[in-house]
């Protein structure tokens, strides 16, 4: 009897590029998971209310729930399905699609195309970002001059007072795209933040969370003794970029006797340092006490760019790469901005623990799982400076042959099985149509149209789609860029 030589399988250590891909995918998908899970608890007032509403006294899974939408006088029901994410993830994807191969943000495309078109399918949008998106449709609006005002109850809110977390919640794609370039990341976050938010709380909060995300992705300064001190030092060094565009923005911001951005920035930096010092105690104190000290339970400050980012950092500091524990505790902090705090904390925990740390039953059910993977992969190519083109730009393929499609801007009726074309997402199928009566004296209806696009993103459109709000010139330029890019890409040949 002959004996065969013993064979063993060889194990190859993953490359640094493979590791960063895994971290980025886990960060982006993890963020969407926490956003989807914590969306419902954002509106809860107590755990008793959660129990009455869902049958759960501790949220540890996705739930389906009906969301009253449309405001007090135009109410309809937006049925949220298990795993559906909110505006936090929607706008992060908008930023991803606006990121160029060199890691820079295409600010004009984000402001004049992504934001206005997002208003067609926004879910859970806050008042500030809604006002910013509406203002973006003005011809005079530019990335450095989108100053606006809006009403909140009896108050008039000015762009300069907009210090909520709407900028911070969407910067993860920029952190992935610039994980090796701290200076570039700071500049791009500044550019993206000021297009919608003018108060230093929003800007510094966005800078702070994006720098933390970058460091975890790149594995920089992660020793527990260095984590908060180094972030405090980072905040102390924050300053306005020195460019002609920012000089013009600063002059406009300071227009009037009562406006002084540099003074507000200094006050915000001191506030941020204090908040980070509070967050650094999260391993020694109940996390609820830490968030209370940060103001996260205060109705006036719960959505602050500083309070929520510091809360996310506190949760990450407490749980590290224990993704499940981090997310569950975040989404059960009822009375806080659970979905946004959870999404930011989860982005850090996911990046630390990698994809193996994400519970499978949460991962496979999150909305647009495959598209999120694709976006993360494209962003890593940018971060490694290996991107060969604007992969996430408008989805157009003039060579494809398929069913006749209706341009969304010309569609007046919608039926299941209908083929639509969207300026950003390209072709898609209508999979569900729901027409509801609006709760108001004058009557009326709203039609919700679920579309699954070939690119992998699913959206729920409202009638009538507001395509005319977008800058047609920017759309045309973006499509032309994609056509040129595809015409020069090498084609596969077969022998």
pLDDT, tens only, 159-188 = 999 999 999 999 999 999 999 999 999 999
Q: Answer whether residue 92 is part of any domain.
A: yes
* Residue 297, domain CATH: 1.10.4080.10
Question: What pLDDT band is residue 3 in, cutting at 50, 70 and 90?
Answer: low
User: Has residue 13 been placed in a domain?
Assistant: no
pLDDT value for 100 = 97
Measuring CA to CA, which residue among 54, 76, 55, 157 is closest to residue 123?
76
Q: Are residues 457 and 349 in the same domain?
A: no
268 in the same domain as 411: no
Q: Mention every residue, 6+ apart, whose C-beta is less than 8 A from residue 102.
A: 382, 385
Residue ranges of alpha helices (H) inside 164-223 are: 172-177, 182-194, 200-218
Inter-residue contact 362 to 62 (CB < 8 Å): yes
90 and 372 Cβ atoms separated by less than 8 Å: no
Q: Which of 193, 302, 280 is nearest to 231 (CA)?
A: 280
Could you give the percent of the chain with pLDDT greater than 90?
77
Residues 379 and 410 in one domain: no
pLDDT band at 211 (very low <50, low <70, confident <90, very high): very high
Does 339 share its domain with 467? Answer: no
Q: Specify the CATH number for the domain of residue 425.
A: 2.40.10
Alpha helices in 85-171 (DSSP H): 87-97, 107-109, 115-118, 127-136
Distance (Å, rounded) from C-alpha 288 to C-alpha 300? 18
Tens digit of pLDDT for each residue in 90-121? 999 999 999 999 999 999 999 999 999 999 89
pLDDT tens-digit series, residues 250-266: 999 999 778 899 999 99
pLDDT in tens, 298-340: 988 889 999 999 999 999 999 999 999 999 999 999 999 999 9
Residues 278 and 424 in one domain: no
Q: Does the pLDDT value for residue 467 go beyond 50?
A: no
User: Residue 55: phi, psi to the nearest 5?
Assistant: 80, 5
Sheet holding 419-422: strands in order across? Answer: 406-407, 419-422, 426-437, 445-453, 458-462
pLDDT at 494: 39
Task: List CB contacts of 318: < 8 A, sequence separation 6 or more.
Answer: 282, 283, 287, 326, 329
**401, pLDDT greater than 60:** no
CA distance 310 to 232: 11
Using the predicted structure, report yes or no on whether residue 9 has a pLDDT greater than 70.
Answer: no
End-of-domain residue from the set 383, 398, 419 = 383
Q: How many CB atoms lie within 10 A of CB 216?
A: 26
20: nearest Cα among 168, 187, 213, 163: 213
Is 312 contained in some domain?
yes
pTM: 0.94
Strands (E), 340-380: none
Q: Is there a single domain that holds both residue 351 and residue 455?
A: no
Q: Residue 35's domain spans which residues? A: 18-383
CA-to-CA separations, 11 to 14, 42, 301, 444, in angstroms, rounded: 9, 45, 51, 64
For residue 119, give both structure tokens. 């208003």
Q: Is the separation of the CB atoms in 235 and 272 below 8 Å?
A: yes
Of 350, 368, 383, at which residue does a domain stop? 383
Q: How far is CA 222 from CA 4, 226, 229, in A?
A: 49, 7, 11
Per DSSP, 390 falls in state -
Is 277 among the domain residues? Answer: yes
**C-alpha–C-alpha distance, residues 167 and 172, integer Å:** 10
Nearest alpha-carbon partner for 426 in 400, 389, 444: 400
Please tell me the number of Cα atoms within 13 Å of 270 on its side-chain side: 5
Per-residue DSSP letter, 55: S
CB 41 within 8 A of CB 50: yes
199 membership: H or E segment, kind and range: none
Report, as an integer, the average pLDDT of 349-377.
97
Q: Are residues 353 and 475 in the same domain?
A: no
Say if CB 469 and CB 462 are below 8 A apart.
Answer: no
- Please, which pLDDT band fits residue 1 given cuts at 50, 70 and 90? low
Domain end position, chosen among 383, 398, 429: 383
Q: Is residue 4 part of a domain?
A: no
Tell me what percent of the residues of the chain surpass a pLDDT of 70.
93
Which helix (H) or strand (E) element contains residue 493? none
Contact criterion met (CB below 8 Å) for 89 and 343:
yes
CA–CA separation, 86 vs 91, rounded Å?
9
The per-residue pLDDT for range 43-70, each reduced to its tens digit, is 999 999 999 999 999 999 999 999 998 8
The pLDDT of residue 492 is: 40
pLDDT per residue as tens digits for the range 223-233: 888 999 999 99
Q: State how far the Cα of 456 lies from the Cα of 459, in Å rounded to an integer.
A: 10
Q: Is residue 234 predicted with pLDDT exceeding 90?
A: yes
**12 part of a folded domain:** no
For residues 2-7, average pLDDT: 64
Identify whether 449 is part of a domain. Answer: yes
Q: How far, in Å, CA of 91 to CA of 316, rounded?
A: 22
> Is 246 in the same domain as 349?
yes
Same domain, 49 and 188: yes
Q: Identify whether residues 378 and 411 lie together within a single domain.
A: no
Q: What is the pLDDT of residue 469?
A: 64
Instruction: Name the one residue in this structure whose structure tokens are 């339970």.
Output: 297
pLDDT beyond 60 at 495: no
Structure tokens at 399: 């060579």
pLDDT score of 14: 84
Q: Is the pLDDT reported for residue 2 higher than 70?
A: no
Instruction: Please provide residue 428's backbone torsions phi and psi, each rounded to the nearest 5 degrees.
Output: -155, 170
pLDDT-derived band at 466, boundaries 50, 70, 90: low
Domain tally, the chain:
2
Is 9 contained in some domain? Answer: no
CA trace torsion 175, 177, 179, 180 (10° rounding): -150
Over 50: is that where the pLDDT of 491 sits?
A: no
Over residues 440-447, the mean pLDDT reads 80
pLDDT above 90 for 123: yes
pLDDT of amino acid 400: 59
The token pair at 76 is 């309809």
pLDDT score for 493: 41
| Residues 461, 323 share a domain | no
- Same domain? For 67 and 127 the reply is yes
Mean pLDDT, the chain, integer: 91
Q: How far apart are CA 267 and CA 383, in angstroms?
A: 33
Burial of 212 (0-12, 13-18, 19+ CB in 10 A): buried
């Amino acid at each position: 009897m002959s004996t065969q030589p013993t064979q063993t399988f060889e194990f190859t250590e993953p490359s640094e590029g493979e590791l960063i891909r895994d971290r980025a995918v886990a960060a982006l998908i993890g963020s969407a998971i926490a956003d989807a899970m914590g969306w419902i608890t954002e509106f809860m007032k107590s755990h008793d209310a959660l129990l009455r509403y869902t049958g759960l006294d501790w949220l540890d899974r996705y739930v389906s729930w009906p969301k009253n939408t449309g405001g007090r006088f135009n109410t309809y029901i937006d049925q949220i399905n298990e795993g559906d994410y909110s505006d936090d993830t929607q706008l992060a994807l908008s930023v991803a699609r606006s990121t160029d191969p060199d890691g820079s943000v295409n600010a004009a495309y984000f402001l004049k195309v992504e934001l206005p078109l997002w208003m067609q399918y926004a879910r859970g949008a806050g008042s500030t970002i809604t006002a910013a998106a509406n203002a973006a449709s003005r011809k005079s609006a530019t990335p450095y001059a989108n100053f606006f005002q809006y009403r909140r109850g009896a108050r008039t809110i000015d762009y300069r007072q907009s210090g909520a977390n709407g900028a911070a919640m969407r910067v993860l794609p920029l952190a992935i795209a610039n994980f090796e370039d701290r200076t570039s990341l700071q500049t791009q976050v500044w550019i993206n933040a000021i297009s919608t938010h003018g108060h230093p709380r929003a800007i510094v909060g966005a800078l702070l969370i994006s720098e933390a995300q970058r460091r975890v992705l790149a594995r920089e300064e992660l020793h527990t003794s260095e984590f908060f001190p180094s972030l405090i030092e980072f905040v102390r060094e924050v300053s306005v970029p020195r460019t002609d565009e920012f000089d013009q923005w600063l002059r406009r911001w300071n227009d009037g006797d009562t406006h002084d951005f540099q003074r507000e920035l200094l006050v915000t930096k001191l506030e941020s340092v204090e908040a980070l010092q509070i967050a650094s105690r999260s391993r020694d104190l109940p996390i609820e006490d830490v968030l209370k000290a940060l103001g996260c339970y205060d109705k006036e400050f719960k959505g602050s760019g500083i309070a929520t980012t510091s809360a996310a950092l506190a949760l990450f500091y407490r749980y590290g790469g224990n993704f499940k524990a981090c997310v569950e505790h975040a989404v059960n902090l009822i009375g806080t901005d659970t979905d946004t705090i959870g999404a930011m904390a989860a982005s850090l925990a996911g990046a630390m623990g990698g994809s193996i740390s994400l519970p499978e039953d949460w991962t496979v059910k999150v909305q647009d799982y495959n598209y999120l993977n694709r976006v993360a992969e494209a962003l890593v190519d940018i971060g490694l400076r290996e991107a060969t083109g604007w992969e996430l730009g408008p989805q157009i393929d003039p060579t494809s042959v398929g069913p006749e499609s209706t341009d969304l801007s010309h569609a007046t009726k919608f039926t299941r099985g209908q083929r639509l074309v969207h300026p950003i997402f390209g072709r898609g199928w209508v999979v569900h149509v729901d027409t509801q009566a609006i709760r108001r004296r004058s009557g009326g209806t709203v039609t919700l149209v679920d579309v699954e696009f070939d690119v992998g993103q699913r959206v729920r459109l409202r009638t009538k789609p507001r395509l005319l709000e977008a800058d047609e010139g920017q759309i045309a330029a973006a499509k032309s860029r994609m056509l040129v890019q595809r015409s020069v890409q090498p084609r596969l040949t077969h022998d």
